[in-house]
Amino acid sequence: MIQDFLFQAFAAGAILGAVIMVTRRNPVSAVIFLVGVFFATSGMFLMLDAHYIAAINVILYGGAIMVLFLFVLMLLNLGHADWRDLRGPMGGLIGGSISIAFLGVLTRLFVGGTDARPMVEVAGSALREAAAEQGVVGVVARPLFTEYTIVLEVTGVLLLVSMVGTILLARRERTVGERERT
């Protein structure tokens, strides 16, 4: 009962935060509202008994990635820029049509499609049972390190490749004159 109510509240908060986020002109405000959206999403995960996912969502997205965004925005001093990016008739048309298509999908799910709630309840009770047995971290960790080890390792290599690539791109080629100076 109270869980349902809190879930609805978090969901409403997430939608509201997302709408405010995309309508901000100041990038720093947008980042702050996006952090709010992540928090609301974590709250929703909590209400679905997915404690571990909720924590990881806040640690990675709320605490690390968004701080990086904020950091870059502050460093580049984009704080007071309010240029028009996707405005104008063409931008509005593209953005509007994507939104309408997305809304249509959601409406179809809600009205004519399958009701997702029984599925959520089944998954939730399965999760609760597994969590009572192995702990909330074990539920995620066990399959990750037994069934999906290869996938995990491959993802790790993928991330490593992208990291090496970033370093390569960011590395400044030093000219001869510069090397002499340092």
Partner 1 sequence: MNPVTGGAFVLATVGKVMIFFTMLMLAVMLATIFERKVCGFMQDRSGPNRVGPWGLLQVIADGLKNLLKEETMPEQAVRPFFLLAPVLAIVPATILFAVIPFASPLPTQWGLVEMIVADVPIGFLYVLAIGSIGVYGVAMGGWASGSKYSLLGGLRGSAQMVSYEVALALSLVPLILLTGDVRAPEIVSMQQTFTAGPATYSTWFVFPLLVGLFFFFVSGLAETNRLPFDMPEAEAELITGYHTEYSAMKFSMFMIGEFAHVITVAALVTVFFLGGWDIPFWQGDNIRVLSDGTVIGEPTWWKTLLTLGAFGVKTSLLVLVFVWIRWTLPRFRYDQLMDLGWKFMLEAVTVYILVIAFVILGIEAVGIPAGGWYAFVLFLVNLGLAGALFFAMDRGTLIRGGAKGAKSAGGDAAGQGG
Site residues for partner 1 per CB under 8 A: 28-29, 32, 35, 51-52, 54-56, 58-59, 62-64, 67-68, 70-71, 74-75, 79, 131-132, 135-137
Q: Which is nearer to partner 1, 47 or 51 (CB)?
A: 51
The burial of 99, by beta-carbon neighbours within 10 Å (0-12 exposed, 13-18 middle, 19 or more buried), is given as: exposed
Residues 6 or more apart from 57 whose CB is under 8 A from it?
38, 41, 42, 45
Q: Which is nearer to partner 1, 14 or 136 (CB)?
A: 136
- CB of 27 closer than 8 Å to CB of 71: no
In this structure, the chain runs to a length of 182
What's the min distance (Å) between Cβ of 28 and partner 1? 7
Residues 6 or more apart from 87 whose CB is under 8 A from it?
none
What's the min distance (Å) between Cβ of 52 and partner 1? 6
Structure-token pair, residue 15: 């939608």
What's the min distance (Å) between Cβ of 71 and partner 1? 5
Q: Which is nearer to partner 1, 80 or 117 (CB)?
A: 80
DSSP character at residue 172 = P
Q: Which is nearer to partner 1, 18 or 78 (CB)?
A: 78
What's the min distance (Å) between Cβ of 98 and partner 1? 30
- Look up tokens 């990038």; give the residue: 27
